[in-house]
Structure 1
Amino acid sequence: MRSERRPHIVVMGVAGCGKTTVARRVAELIDAEFLDADDLHPPSNIEKMAAGIPLTEADREPWLAAVAARLTGRDRRYVVACSALRRRHRDVLRSGAEPVVFAHLTGPPEIIRARLAQRSGHFMSPGMLDSQLALLEPLEPDEPGTVLDIAAPPDAIARTAADFSNER
């Protein structure tokens, strides 16, 4: 069933999978506003992650609420780069802003680990990948979304995500 309102798109996955790159490109393709959820983390969360300390659910709650609030009551369509690792995280993002669809970027941990090793200037410690992989809950059949392999070029991934969201 297609909604009259175009869905917000959350490009999700573990650190280093390409969320920001893909989400920026999707936003360009569909003329939507890009939002990097990392920009809404409180300083205490950033300090923890930079030190290699995984966030707790209590740490994530206000951050996810801030992201969801950005999507609520907006006339503008958003494309959000957000880890959204667990079902409950995605439920929060959907809580105030229907419709929301997810594009889950996934790939072999070795590829993601290599990308993280090459990345500079980001607060996320590469050592955090294992904790994110352990926390990750794939999209469930009743969640509106698609799974995309990071082996494809970012532009191809973005086109697929944009096409998927436009079918909703």
Structure 2
Amino acid sequence: MDDATARLALPLLEAGQAQKEIAHNEALAMLDIAVQAIVQAGPTDQPPAAPAIGACWIVGTAPQGAWVGQAGRVAGWTGTGWRFVVPQPGWCAWDAIARQEWRLTAAGWERGVVRAERVTIGDRQVVGARRPAIPDPLGGTTVDGEARAALAKVLDTLRQHGLIEP
């Protein structure tokens, strides 16, 4: 029989187990770190000197001190010590200081990157997948320099924003 849950490694209670409250409280402490995670900073290697109870951090790739061996995990201070949760790709944590979301990908933690196939506002798609390149205006029977310059600026802006191919 397993003694921990598959995804969060939360301790499970066993029949006849003495002091079940210890395992139960440990599971609650880990859930408090993992569910709707809020961190003070993204990947950092040095634990803070005086953490507040309930404060969390994303542990960096070369952790030091009390965080040695906990790379990439979410560390939370409980008042009685550090608790570590092993996140899975797709997990998110809100950075309370930077006011941006961290997301764990297969390559590691990234902040401030929005990945989507489209953006929809009020049931209307306003941004979708990148479209093919649009050529700059050339030729024609009537040349209007101001219109051509305005159109070139629009096309340049769309290219800079990645909405059309360069």
TM-score relative to the length of structure 2: 0.22
Comparing both chains, which one has the higher relative contact order based on Cα–Cα distances under 8 Å and sequence gaps of 6 or more? 1
Greater share of residues in helix = 1
TM-score of the superposed pair, with normalisation by structure 1 = 0.22
> Whose strand fraction is larger, Structure 1's or Structure 2's?
2
Larger radius of gyration, structure 1 or 2?
2
